[in-house]
Structure 1
Amino acid sequence: MIKLIEKDMPEVSLLDMALMIEQELGELDMAKVEAELAQLSTQLACYLADRSSARNDSSSQTWQDVLACFFQQWQFSGDWQQFFDYQNTLVSQGILKRKGTPLTLGILLVHFLRQSGVTANGICFPGHFLVRIDVDNNFHYIDPFNGELLSWQQMELKLRGAKGDLARLKQQDLKPDDIKSIIKRLLHTKKGALLREHQFNQALRCSDILLRLAPGDPFEIRDRGFIFHELDCFNVAVDDFNYFIDKCPNDPSIGLLKLKIEQMDHSETVMH
Protein backbone atom coordinates (compact mmCIF):
# COMPACT_ATOMS: atom_id res chain seq x y z
CA MET A 1 0.00 0.00 0.00
CA ILE A 2 2.84 2.40 0.82
CA LYS A 3 4.53 1.80 -2.53
CA LEU A 4 1.20 2.07 -4.35
CA ILE A 5 0.35 5.43 -2.84
CA GLU A 6 3.79 6.91 -3.36
CA LYS A 7 4.59 5.67 -6.87
CA ASP A 8 1.65 4.18 -8.70
CA MET A 9 -1.34 6.35 -7.80
CA PRO A 10 -1.77 7.81 -11.36
CA GLU A 11 -2.11 4.24 -12.67
CA VAL A 12 -4.90 3.34 -10.24
CA SER A 13 -8.48 4.52 -10.62
CA LEU A 14 -10.11 6.71 -7.99
CA LEU A 15 -12.54 3.95 -7.02
CA ASP A 16 -9.80 1.32 -6.83
CA MET A 17 -7.73 3.53 -4.53
CA ALA A 18 -10.72 4.22 -2.27
CA LEU A 19 -11.41 0.49 -1.99
CA MET A 20 -7.73 -0.32 -1.34
CA ILE A 21 -7.75 2.07 1.60
CA GLU A 22 -10.91 0.50 2.99
CA GLN A 23 -9.28 -2.89 2.63
CA GLU A 24 -6.26 -1.66 4.57
CA LEU A 25 -8.55 -0.29 7.28
CA GLY A 26 -10.20 -3.71 7.51
CA GLU A 27 -13.62 -2.47 6.38
CA LEU A 28 -14.08 -4.33 3.11
CA ASP A 29 -15.49 -7.61 1.87
CA MET A 30 -13.72 -7.37 -1.49
CA ALA A 31 -15.35 -10.40 -3.10
CA LYS A 32 -18.84 -9.14 -2.36
CA VAL A 33 -18.07 -5.63 -3.56
CA GLU A 34 -16.39 -6.84 -6.76
CA ALA A 35 -19.38 -9.06 -7.55
CA GLU A 36 -21.78 -6.15 -7.08
CA LEU A 37 -19.63 -3.84 -9.22
CA ALA A 38 -19.49 -6.42 -12.01
CA GLN A 39 -23.26 -6.78 -11.93
CA LEU A 40 -23.80 -3.02 -12.02
CA SER A 41 -21.36 -2.65 -14.93
CA THR A 42 -23.24 -5.26 -16.93
CA GLN A 43 -26.56 -3.63 -16.16
CA LEU A 44 -25.26 -0.22 -17.17
CA ALA A 45 -23.92 -1.48 -20.50
CA CYS A 46 -27.29 -3.04 -21.31
CA TYR A 47 -29.15 0.08 -20.19
CA LEU A 48 -27.03 2.37 -22.37
CA ALA A 49 -27.38 0.08 -25.37
CA ASP A 50 -31.16 0.04 -25.00
CA ARG A 51 -31.38 3.82 -24.63
CA SER A 52 -29.10 4.45 -27.62
CA SER A 53 -31.07 1.99 -29.74
CA ALA A 54 -34.37 3.59 -28.79
CA ARG A 55 -33.08 7.03 -29.80
CA ASN A 56 -31.27 5.67 -32.87
CA ASP A 57 -28.33 8.01 -32.25
CA SER A 58 -24.77 7.94 -30.96
CA SER A 59 -23.34 8.81 -27.58
CA SER A 60 -24.31 12.51 -27.34
CA GLN A 61 -26.63 11.79 -24.42
CA THR A 62 -24.59 9.06 -22.76
CA TRP A 63 -23.86 11.15 -19.67
CA GLN A 64 -27.58 11.80 -19.14
CA ASP A 65 -28.32 8.10 -19.54
CA VAL A 66 -25.66 7.22 -16.95
CA LEU A 67 -27.23 9.70 -14.52
CA ALA A 68 -30.69 8.24 -15.16
CA CYS A 69 -29.40 4.72 -14.54
CA PHE A 70 -27.43 5.71 -11.42
CA PHE A 71 -30.12 7.77 -9.68
CA GLN A 72 -33.38 6.39 -11.09
CA GLN A 73 -32.80 2.77 -12.03
CA TRP A 74 -30.33 1.91 -9.25
CA GLN A 75 -31.72 4.57 -6.88
CA PHE A 76 -28.44 5.73 -5.43
CA SER A 77 -29.22 8.56 -3.04
CA GLY A 78 -27.74 10.63 -0.26
CA ASP A 79 -28.28 9.52 3.30
CA TRP A 80 -29.70 12.52 5.15
CA GLN A 81 -30.59 10.66 8.32
CA GLN A 82 -27.10 9.29 9.05
CA PHE A 83 -25.03 11.78 7.09
CA PHE A 84 -22.11 11.92 9.54
CA ASP A 85 -22.05 8.19 10.33
CA TYR A 86 -18.72 6.51 9.63
CA GLN A 87 -20.43 3.82 7.54
CA ASN A 88 -21.38 6.55 5.07
CA THR A 89 -17.71 7.31 4.46
CA LEU A 90 -17.23 3.79 3.08
CA VAL A 91 -17.45 3.63 -0.70
CA SER A 92 -17.94 -0.14 -0.40
CA GLN A 93 -21.08 0.41 1.68
CA GLY A 94 -22.28 2.91 -0.90
CA ILE A 95 -21.98 0.20 -3.54
CA LEU A 96 -23.85 -2.38 -1.49
CA LYS A 97 -26.50 -0.15 0.12
CA ARG A 98 -26.75 2.52 -2.61
CA LYS A 99 -26.57 5.31 -0.06
CA GLY A 100 -23.81 7.64 1.03
CA THR A 101 -22.41 11.15 1.15
CA PRO A 102 -21.69 13.50 -1.77
CA LEU A 103 -18.08 12.27 -1.68
CA THR A 104 -18.71 8.51 -1.66
CA LEU A 105 -21.50 8.77 -4.22
CA GLY A 106 -19.39 11.14 -6.31
CA ILE A 107 -16.53 8.65 -6.46
CA LEU A 108 -18.95 5.99 -7.71
CA LEU A 109 -20.61 8.30 -10.21
CA VAL A 110 -17.25 9.33 -11.68
CA HIS A 111 -16.37 5.64 -12.00
CA PHE A 112 -19.48 4.70 -13.97
CA LEU A 113 -19.32 7.82 -16.16
CA ARG A 114 -15.71 7.12 -17.11
CA GLN A 115 -16.51 3.47 -17.63
CA SER A 116 -19.10 4.60 -20.19
CA GLY A 117 -16.62 6.79 -22.05
CA VAL A 118 -17.71 10.10 -20.52
CA THR A 119 -15.08 12.60 -19.36
CA ALA A 120 -15.89 13.13 -15.69
CA ASN A 121 -13.93 14.47 -12.73
CA GLY A 122 -14.45 15.12 -9.06
CA ILE A 123 -14.24 18.56 -7.45
CA CYS A 124 -13.39 18.97 -3.77
CA PHE A 125 -15.77 21.91 -3.53
CA PRO A 126 -15.95 23.65 -0.12
CA GLY A 127 -18.39 21.72 2.04
CA HIS A 128 -19.75 19.60 -0.80
CA PHE A 129 -18.17 17.25 -3.35
CA LEU A 130 -19.23 17.87 -6.97
CA VAL A 131 -18.85 15.98 -10.25
CA ARG A 132 -17.94 17.82 -13.45
CA ILE A 133 -18.87 16.31 -16.80
CA ASP A 134 -17.15 17.54 -19.97
CA VAL A 135 -19.22 17.07 -23.15
CA ASP A 136 -18.39 18.84 -26.42
CA ASN A 137 -16.33 21.47 -24.57
CA ASN A 138 -19.24 22.23 -22.25
CA PHE A 139 -19.12 21.61 -18.52
CA HIS A 140 -22.04 20.21 -16.53
CA TYR A 141 -21.89 20.20 -12.74
CA ILE A 142 -23.70 17.48 -10.85
CA ASP A 143 -24.57 17.19 -7.17
CA PRO A 144 -23.89 13.47 -6.57
CA PHE A 145 -26.00 13.53 -3.42
CA ASN A 146 -29.22 13.79 -5.44
CA GLY A 147 -28.29 13.88 -9.13
CA GLU A 148 -29.25 17.53 -9.55
CA LEU A 149 -27.72 19.50 -12.43
CA LEU A 150 -26.40 22.64 -10.75
CA SER A 151 -26.46 26.21 -12.04
CA TRP A 152 -23.79 28.79 -11.27
CA GLN A 153 -26.14 30.46 -8.78
CA GLN A 154 -26.82 27.18 -6.96
CA MET A 155 -23.11 26.42 -6.66
CA GLU A 156 -22.44 29.92 -5.36
CA LEU A 157 -25.08 29.39 -2.67
CA LYS A 158 -23.30 26.20 -1.62
CA LEU A 159 -20.01 28.10 -1.53
CA ARG A 160 -21.49 30.85 0.62
CA GLY A 161 -22.95 28.22 2.93
CA ALA A 162 -19.44 26.87 3.50
CA LYS A 163 -17.40 30.09 3.48
CA GLY A 164 -19.85 32.84 4.45
CA ASP A 165 -22.11 35.31 2.68
CA LEU A 166 -19.23 37.37 1.30
CA ALA A 167 -17.85 34.45 -0.72
CA ARG A 168 -18.30 34.59 -4.47
CA LEU A 169 -17.91 31.69 -6.88
CA LYS A 170 -14.94 31.82 -9.23
CA GLN A 171 -14.00 29.53 -12.07
CA GLN A 172 -10.98 28.30 -10.12
CA ASP A 173 -13.39 26.92 -7.48
CA LEU A 174 -14.65 24.50 -10.12
CA LYS A 175 -11.28 23.12 -11.15
CA PRO A 176 -11.21 19.28 -11.07
CA ASP A 177 -9.06 17.65 -8.41
CA ASP A 178 -6.63 14.80 -8.91
CA ILE A 179 -6.91 11.37 -7.29
CA LYS A 180 -4.51 12.24 -4.47
CA SER A 181 -6.51 15.30 -3.42
CA ILE A 182 -9.82 13.41 -3.47
CA ILE A 183 -8.37 10.49 -1.52
CA LYS A 184 -7.00 12.90 1.08
CA ARG A 185 -10.43 14.46 1.43
CA LEU A 186 -11.97 11.00 1.81
CA LEU A 187 -9.45 10.10 4.52
CA HIS A 188 -10.07 13.35 6.38
CA THR A 189 -13.80 12.64 6.24
CA LYS A 190 -13.25 9.13 7.57
CA LYS A 191 -10.97 10.39 10.32
CA GLY A 192 -13.47 13.04 11.39
CA ALA A 193 -16.30 10.51 11.57
CA LEU A 194 -14.15 8.09 13.58
CA LEU A 195 -13.16 10.80 16.03
CA ARG A 196 -16.81 11.74 16.57
CA GLU A 197 -17.52 8.08 17.28
CA HIS A 198 -14.49 7.81 19.63
CA GLN A 199 -12.84 5.15 17.45
CA PHE A 200 -9.39 6.57 18.04
CA ASN A 201 -7.32 3.59 16.89
CA GLN A 202 -9.02 3.58 13.50
CA ALA A 203 -8.68 7.36 13.29
CA LEU A 204 -4.95 6.92 13.92
CA ARG A 205 -4.73 4.50 11.00
CA CYS A 206 -6.35 7.12 8.75
CA SER A 207 -3.83 9.67 9.99
CA ASP A 208 -0.96 7.30 9.19
CA ILE A 209 -2.19 6.88 5.61
CA LEU A 210 -2.56 10.66 5.24
CA LEU A 211 1.04 11.07 6.35
CA ARG A 212 2.11 8.62 3.67
CA LEU A 213 0.41 10.87 1.15
CA ALA A 214 1.97 14.01 2.63
CA PRO A 215 5.04 13.05 4.71
CA GLY A 216 5.95 15.61 7.34
CA ASP A 217 2.73 17.64 6.97
CA PRO A 218 2.79 19.64 10.23
CA PHE A 219 -0.98 20.01 10.45
CA GLU A 220 -1.58 16.30 10.06
CA ILE A 221 1.15 15.58 12.61
CA ARG A 222 -0.54 18.02 15.00
CA ASP A 223 -3.87 16.26 14.48
CA ARG A 224 -2.18 12.91 15.05
CA GLY A 225 -0.88 14.32 18.32
CA PHE A 226 -4.45 14.98 19.45
CA ILE A 227 -5.35 11.36 18.64
CA PHE A 228 -2.32 10.10 20.60
CA HIS A 229 -3.45 12.33 23.46
CA GLU A 230 -6.89 10.67 23.44
CA LEU A 231 -5.16 7.28 23.49
CA ASP A 232 -3.08 8.36 26.52
CA CYS A 233 0.11 8.02 24.46
CA PHE A 234 1.49 11.20 25.96
CA ASN A 235 5.16 10.97 24.94
CA VAL A 236 4.38 10.64 21.23
CA ALA A 237 1.66 13.28 21.51
CA VAL A 238 4.21 15.70 22.95
CA ASP A 239 6.63 14.87 20.13
CA ASP A 240 3.94 15.61 17.52
CA PHE A 241 2.91 18.86 19.21
CA ASN A 242 6.51 20.03 19.49
CA TYR A 243 7.09 19.21 15.82
CA PHE A 244 4.13 21.41 14.89
CA ILE A 245 5.25 24.22 17.20
CA ASP A 246 8.68 24.16 15.58
CA LYS A 247 7.30 24.16 12.01
CA CYS A 248 4.40 26.60 12.53
CA PRO A 249 5.42 28.91 15.40
CA ASN A 250 2.84 31.58 14.52
CA ASP A 251 -0.20 29.31 14.26
CA PRO A 252 -3.13 30.34 16.52
CA SER A 253 -3.27 26.85 18.04
CA ILE A 254 0.22 27.09 19.56
CA GLY A 255 -1.05 28.36 22.92
CA LEU A 256 -3.43 25.41 23.28
CA LEU A 257 -0.72 22.94 22.35
CA LYS A 258 1.73 24.34 24.89
CA LEU A 259 -0.96 24.14 27.56
CA LYS A 260 -1.66 20.50 26.71
CA ILE A 261 2.05 19.70 26.83
CA GLU A 262 2.24 21.19 30.32
CA GLN A 263 -0.78 19.22 31.48
CA MET A 264 0.32 15.83 30.20
CA ASP A 265 1.79 13.49 32.74
CA HIS A 266 4.61 11.76 30.87
CA SER A 267 4.97 9.09 33.51
CA GLU A 268 1.56 7.65 32.64
CA THR A 269 2.34 6.99 29.00
CA VAL A 270 0.56 4.00 27.49
CA MET A 271 1.79 2.75 24.13
CA HIS A 272 -0.74 1.10 21.78
Structure 2
Amino acid sequence: MKQFSFNDESLTLPDSAFELVEHLGFNSAEQAKWAWFELSGAVLSHYLADEEARLQALLTFFYQERGFQTADEYFAIAAADLGMCFMLRRGNSTTLATALKLLAKQLDLQLDLLLLPGATVLVCTMAGEFRYIDPLTGRFLSRHDLHSLVKGELGNAAPFKARYLKPANNQLILMRMMSELKSAAVLAHEFEAAMECCNLMLAWYPDELNLHRERAFIAHQLGAIHVATADLQFFIDNNPHDPMVELVKMQLRELGEESQTFH
Protein backbone atom coordinates (compact mmCIF):
# COMPACT_ATOMS: atom_id res chain seq x y z
CA MET A 1 0.00 0.00 0.00
CA LYS A 2 1.43 3.40 -1.01
CA GLN A 3 2.42 5.94 1.62
CA PHE A 4 -0.41 8.29 2.46
CA SER A 5 -0.75 11.02 5.06
CA PHE A 6 -2.89 13.94 6.11
CA ASN A 7 -1.82 17.21 7.65
CA ASP A 8 -4.09 19.74 9.33
CA GLU A 9 -3.78 22.24 6.46
CA SER A 10 -4.83 19.74 3.80
CA LEU A 11 -7.92 18.36 5.54
CA THR A 12 -11.12 19.15 3.67
CA LEU A 13 -14.49 17.51 3.45
CA PRO A 14 -15.57 15.70 1.41
CA ASP A 15 -12.28 15.44 -0.55
CA SER A 16 -10.10 14.03 2.25
CA ALA A 17 -12.69 11.35 3.01
CA PHE A 18 -12.85 10.37 -0.67
CA GLU A 19 -9.04 10.22 -0.92
CA LEU A 20 -8.81 8.11 2.23
CA VAL A 21 -11.22 5.46 0.97
CA GLU A 22 -9.53 5.32 -2.44
CA HIS A 23 -6.18 4.89 -0.69
CA LEU A 24 -7.62 1.96 1.26
CA GLY A 25 -8.77 0.39 -2.01
CA PHE A 26 -12.50 0.50 -1.33
CA ASN A 27 -13.84 3.12 -3.75
CA SER A 28 -12.97 5.57 -6.51
CA ALA A 29 -12.52 9.18 -5.39
CA GLU A 30 -13.55 10.35 -8.88
CA GLN A 31 -16.88 8.50 -8.77
CA ALA A 32 -17.53 9.79 -5.27
CA LYS A 33 -16.87 13.36 -6.39
CA TRP A 34 -19.37 13.13 -9.26
CA ALA A 35 -22.06 11.86 -6.88
CA TRP A 36 -21.28 14.77 -4.55
CA PHE A 37 -21.33 17.35 -7.38
CA GLU A 38 -24.76 16.17 -8.51
CA LEU A 39 -26.28 16.42 -5.02
CA SER A 40 -24.58 19.69 -4.09
CA GLY A 41 -25.96 21.31 -7.24
CA ALA A 42 -29.46 19.88 -6.85
CA VAL A 43 -29.87 21.07 -3.26
CA LEU A 44 -29.45 24.73 -4.27
CA SER A 45 -33.02 24.85 -5.57
CA HIS A 46 -34.12 24.58 -1.90
CA TYR A 47 -32.54 27.89 -0.90
CA LEU A 48 -35.34 29.75 0.90
CA ALA A 49 -35.09 33.16 2.53
CA ASP A 50 -36.36 31.97 5.92
CA GLU A 51 -33.69 29.98 7.77
CA GLU A 52 -36.15 27.68 9.53
CA ALA A 53 -37.92 26.90 6.24
CA ARG A 54 -34.54 26.32 4.59
CA LEU A 55 -33.60 23.70 7.21
CA GLN A 56 -36.92 21.92 6.77
CA ALA A 57 -36.48 22.01 2.99
CA LEU A 58 -33.00 20.49 3.36
CA LEU A 59 -34.33 17.65 5.51
CA THR A 60 -37.15 16.99 3.04
CA PHE A 61 -34.66 16.97 0.14
CA PHE A 62 -32.28 14.63 1.95
CA TYR A 63 -34.63 12.06 3.45
CA GLN A 64 -37.73 12.17 1.26
CA GLU A 65 -36.73 13.41 -2.19
CA ARG A 66 -33.32 11.72 -2.35
CA GLY A 67 -34.13 8.85 0.01
CA PHE A 68 -31.07 8.85 2.27
CA GLN A 69 -31.45 6.28 5.04
CA THR A 70 -29.66 3.93 7.40
CA ALA A 71 -27.63 1.24 5.64
CA ASP A 72 -29.03 -2.28 5.97
CA GLU A 73 -25.53 -3.54 6.77
CA TYR A 74 -24.79 -0.81 9.28
CA PHE A 75 -21.29 -1.97 10.22
CA ALA A 76 -20.14 -2.72 6.67
CA ILE A 77 -17.39 -0.86 4.82
CA ALA A 78 -19.89 0.76 2.43
CA ALA A 79 -21.81 2.31 5.33
CA ALA A 80 -18.62 3.92 6.68
CA ASP A 81 -17.56 5.22 3.24
CA LEU A 82 -18.73 8.80 2.60
CA GLY A 83 -18.48 8.37 -1.17
CA MET A 84 -20.67 5.27 -1.10
CA CYS A 85 -23.10 7.16 1.12
CA PHE A 86 -23.48 9.78 -1.63
CA MET A 87 -23.78 7.14 -4.34
CA LEU A 88 -26.08 4.63 -2.64
CA ARG A 89 -27.82 7.09 -0.28
CA ARG A 90 -27.21 4.69 2.56
CA GLY A 91 -24.84 5.14 5.48
CA ASN A 92 -24.13 5.00 9.18
CA SER A 93 -24.66 7.92 11.55
CA THR A 94 -21.26 9.47 10.75
CA THR A 95 -21.46 9.34 6.95
CA LEU A 96 -25.09 10.46 6.88
CA ALA A 97 -24.35 13.30 9.29
CA THR A 98 -21.35 14.42 7.25
CA ALA A 99 -23.33 14.30 4.00
CA LEU A 100 -26.09 16.40 5.56
CA LYS A 101 -23.58 18.87 7.03
CA LEU A 102 -21.97 19.39 3.60
CA LEU A 103 -25.30 19.87 1.85
CA ALA A 104 -26.38 22.31 4.57
CA LYS A 105 -23.29 24.41 3.85
CA GLN A 106 -24.52 24.79 0.25
CA LEU A 107 -27.63 26.47 1.73
CA ASP A 108 -25.66 28.68 4.14
CA LEU A 109 -26.78 26.57 7.09
CA GLN A 110 -24.25 25.50 9.70
CA LEU A 111 -24.73 21.96 10.96
CA ASP A 112 -22.01 20.54 13.20
CA LEU A 113 -21.25 16.96 14.15
CA LEU A 114 -21.31 15.80 17.76
CA LEU A 115 -19.31 12.60 18.19
CA LEU A 116 -21.11 10.78 20.97
CA PRO A 117 -19.86 7.37 22.12
CA GLY A 118 -21.11 4.95 19.48
CA ALA A 119 -23.22 7.49 17.59
CA THR A 120 -22.91 10.74 15.65
CA VAL A 121 -25.60 13.43 15.76
CA LEU A 122 -25.97 16.91 14.26
CA VAL A 123 -26.48 20.23 16.00
CA CYS A 124 -27.41 23.69 14.75
CA THR A 125 -28.32 26.93 16.44
CA MET A 126 -31.57 28.46 15.26
CA ALA A 127 -33.83 31.11 16.82
CA GLY A 128 -31.48 31.23 19.79
CA GLU A 129 -31.73 27.54 20.67
CA PHE A 130 -29.82 24.37 19.91
CA ARG A 131 -31.46 21.89 17.55
CA TYR A 132 -30.18 18.32 17.64
CA ILE A 133 -30.85 16.07 14.65
CA ASP A 134 -30.65 12.29 14.33
CA PRO A 135 -28.85 11.74 10.99
CA LEU A 136 -30.36 8.26 10.66
CA THR A 137 -33.94 9.58 10.52
CA GLY A 138 -33.86 13.38 10.28
CA ARG A 139 -35.96 13.76 13.42
CA PHE A 140 -35.13 16.30 16.10
CA LEU A 141 -33.69 15.07 19.39
CA SER A 142 -33.79 16.40 22.94
CA ARG A 143 -30.87 16.48 25.40
CA HIS A 144 -32.57 13.53 27.10
CA ASP A 145 -32.44 11.64 23.79
CA LEU A 146 -28.70 12.37 23.50
CA HIS A 147 -28.10 11.02 26.98
CA SER A 148 -30.11 7.91 26.12
CA LEU A 149 -27.80 7.29 23.15
CA VAL A 150 -24.77 7.56 25.44
CA LYS A 151 -26.32 5.20 28.00
CA GLY A 152 -27.21 2.78 25.23
CA GLU A 153 -23.52 2.58 24.35
CA LEU A 154 -21.85 2.83 27.77
CA GLY A 155 -24.51 1.59 30.18
CA ASN A 156 -27.30 3.14 32.25
CA ALA A 157 -24.89 4.64 34.78
CA ALA A 158 -22.96 6.61 32.13
CA PRO A 159 -23.00 10.38 32.72
CA PHE A 160 -23.53 12.89 29.95
CA LYS A 161 -20.25 14.79 29.66
CA ALA A 162 -20.00 18.41 28.53
CA ARG A 163 -17.38 17.46 25.92
CA TYR A 164 -19.99 15.45 24.03
CA LEU A 165 -21.55 18.78 22.98
CA LYS A 166 -18.34 20.15 21.44
CA PRO A 167 -18.61 20.34 17.62
CA ALA A 168 -16.09 18.14 15.82
CA ASN A 169 -13.55 19.62 13.44
CA ASN A 170 -12.50 17.94 10.19
CA GLN A 171 -9.67 15.98 11.82
CA LEU A 172 -11.97 14.48 14.46
CA ILE A 173 -14.61 13.64 11.85
CA LEU A 174 -12.01 11.86 9.73
CA MET A 175 -10.71 10.07 12.82
CA ARG A 176 -14.23 8.79 13.51
CA MET A 177 -14.56 7.70 9.88
CA MET A 178 -11.20 5.92 9.97
CA SER A 179 -12.14 4.18 13.20
CA GLU A 180 -15.39 2.96 11.68
CA LEU A 181 -13.66 1.92 8.45
CA LYS A 182 -11.09 0.02 10.53
CA SER A 183 -13.78 -1.87 12.42
CA ALA A 184 -15.65 -2.62 9.20
CA ALA A 185 -12.44 -3.82 7.54
CA VAL A 186 -11.73 -6.19 10.44
CA LEU A 187 -15.25 -7.63 10.15
CA ALA A 188 -14.65 -8.15 6.42
CA HIS A 189 -11.19 -9.67 7.09
CA GLU A 190 -9.62 -6.81 5.12
CA PHE A 191 -6.73 -6.70 7.57
CA GLU A 192 -4.29 -4.70 5.42
CA ALA A 193 -6.80 -1.85 5.13
CA ALA A 194 -7.55 -2.08 8.87
CA MET A 195 -3.81 -1.91 9.60
CA GLU A 196 -3.44 1.18 7.43
CA CYS A 197 -6.31 2.88 9.29
CA CYS A 198 -4.51 2.21 12.57
CA ASN A 199 -1.24 3.56 11.17
CA LEU A 200 -2.90 6.76 9.94
CA MET A 201 -4.69 7.35 13.25
CA LEU A 202 -1.51 6.69 15.25
CA ALA A 203 0.31 9.23 13.07
CA TRP A 204 -2.08 11.81 14.57
CA TYR A 205 -2.33 10.32 18.07
CA PRO A 206 0.81 8.24 18.69
CA ASP A 207 0.10 7.79 22.40
CA GLU A 208 -3.46 6.45 21.99
CA LEU A 209 -3.03 3.21 23.93
CA ASN A 210 -6.16 1.41 22.78
CA LEU A 211 -5.14 1.98 19.17
CA HIS A 212 -1.83 0.25 19.86
CA ARG A 213 -3.71 -2.71 21.32
CA GLU A 214 -6.08 -2.84 18.34
CA ARG A 215 -3.16 -2.66 15.92
CA ALA A 216 -1.51 -5.54 17.76
CA PHE A 217 -4.54 -7.73 17.07
CA ILE A 218 -4.61 -6.74 13.39
CA ALA A 219 -0.84 -7.19 13.01
CA HIS A 220 -1.19 -10.67 14.49
CA GLN A 221 -3.77 -11.56 11.82
CA LEU A 222 -1.27 -10.45 9.18
CA GLY A 223 1.55 -12.47 10.75
CA ALA A 224 3.46 -9.33 11.76
CA ILE A 225 4.42 -10.75 15.16
CA HIS A 226 7.13 -8.18 15.90
CA VAL A 227 4.73 -5.27 15.32
CA ALA A 228 2.08 -6.92 17.48
CA THR A 229 4.59 -7.58 20.25
CA ALA A 230 5.87 -4.00 20.22
CA ASP A 231 2.34 -2.59 20.41
CA LEU A 232 1.33 -4.83 23.32
CA GLN A 233 4.53 -3.95 25.18
CA PHE A 234 3.84 -0.25 24.58
CA PHE A 235 0.36 -0.69 26.08
CA ILE A 236 1.76 -2.44 29.17
CA ASP A 237 4.60 0.05 29.71
CA ASN A 238 2.35 3.09 29.45
CA ASN A 239 -0.76 1.77 31.18
CA PRO A 240 0.45 -0.52 33.99
CA HIS A 241 -2.64 -0.12 36.18
CA ASP A 242 -5.26 -0.72 33.49
CA PRO A 243 -7.64 -3.60 34.33
CA MET A 244 -6.78 -5.12 30.93
CA VAL A 245 -3.02 -5.31 31.59
CA GLU A 246 -3.00 -8.91 32.82
CA LEU A 247 -4.89 -10.02 29.72
CA VAL A 248 -2.49 -8.05 27.51
CA LYS A 249 0.49 -9.67 29.29
CA MET A 250 -1.03 -13.07 28.55
CA GLN A 251 -1.43 -12.12 24.88
CA LEU A 252 2.18 -10.98 24.83
CA ARG A 253 3.40 -14.30 26.24
CA GLU A 254 1.36 -16.20 23.65
CA LEU A 255 2.88 -14.09 20.87
CA GLY A 256 6.35 -14.89 22.22
CA GLU A 257 5.62 -18.60 22.13
CA GLU A 258 4.20 -18.28 18.62
CA SER A 259 7.28 -16.40 17.45
CA GLN A 260 9.55 -19.15 18.82
CA THR A 261 7.44 -21.81 17.07
CA PHE A 262 7.88 -20.04 13.71
CA HIS A 263 11.63 -20.03 14.18
Query: What TM-score do the two structures reach when normalised by structure 1?
Result: 0.87
Instruction: Give the letter aligned to residue 241 of structure 1.
Output: L
**Worse overlay, 31-40 or 101-110:** 31-40
Counterparts of residues 138-149 of structure 1 (less than 5 Å):
138-149=129-140
The answer as to 2:72 corresponding to 1:73 is no
* Partner Cα separation in structure 2 for residue 36 and residue 6 of structure 1: 25
When residues 165 and 116 of structure 1 are mapped into structure 2, their CA distance, relative to the original with a 3 A threshold, is: same
- Give yes or no for contact 1:25–1:202 (8 Å, CA) kept in 2: yes
Q: 1:134 to 1:13 in 2, by over 3 A?
A: farther
Q: 1:244 to 1:122 in 2, by over 3 A?
A: same
Partner SS, residue 131 of structure 1 = strand
Pairwise CA distance, 1:27 = 2.0
Query: Where do 1:138-177 residues align within 5 Å?
Result: 138-169=129-160, 171-177=162-168
In 2, Cα distance between equivalents of 1:259 and 1:4 = 34
Aligned runs of 1:209-224 on 2, under 5 Å? 209-224=200-215
1:226 to 217, 221, 228: 217
**Which residue identity lines up with residue 55 of structure 2 in the other structure?**
W
Query: Does the CA contact (< 8 Å) of 1:126 and 1:163 recur in 2?
Result: yes
Q: Aligned in 2, Cα 1:237/1:167: closer, same or farther, shift over 3 Å?
A: closer
Cα distance 1:228–1:45, how it changes in 2: closer, same or farther (>3 A)? same
Shift of 1:74: 0.7
Q: Does 1:5 align with 2:6?
A: yes
Residue identity matched to 1:155: L
Amino acid at match of 2:204: L
What RMSD over aligned residues (CA atoms) do the two structures have, in Å? 2.2
In structure 2, what is the equivalent of residue 244 of structure 1? Answer: 235
| Structure 1 residue 172, shift from structure 2 partner | 4.2
Give me the whole-angstrom Cα distance separating, in 1, the residues matched to 2:162 and 2:210: 28
Residue 17 of structure 1 corresponds to: 16
Aligned ranges 1:1-272 → 2 under 5 Å:
5-9=6-10, 12-46=11-45, 48-49=46-47, 52=48, 57-79=49-71, 81-169=72-160, 171-264=162-255, 265-267=258-260
CA separation of 1:167/1:258 partners in 2, compared to 1, >3 Å: closer, same or farther?
closer
Distance 1:151 1:221 in 2: 36
DSSP 3-state at the match of 1:129? strand
**Secondary structure of 1:237 counterpart:** helix
Which amino acid in the other structure matches residue 27 of structure 2? L
* CA distance 1:269–1:182, change in 2 (3 Å): farther
TM-superposed CA distance for 1:66, in Å, is: 1.1
Identity of counterpart residues, as a percentage? Answer: 24
Distance 1:117 1:89, change over 3 A: same
Deviations 1:188-207 (A, max 9, x none): 11111111222211110111
Moved over 3 A (4+): 1-4, 57-60, 167-172, 267-270
Deviations 1:34-82 (A, max 9, x none): 2221111221112x14xx3xxxx44442222111111111110112x31
Cα distance, 1:163 vs structure 2: 2.4
Equivalent residue pairs, number: 260
> How far apart, in 2, do the equivalents of 1:159 and 1:77 lie?
21
User: How far is 1:149 from its partner?
Assistant: 0.9
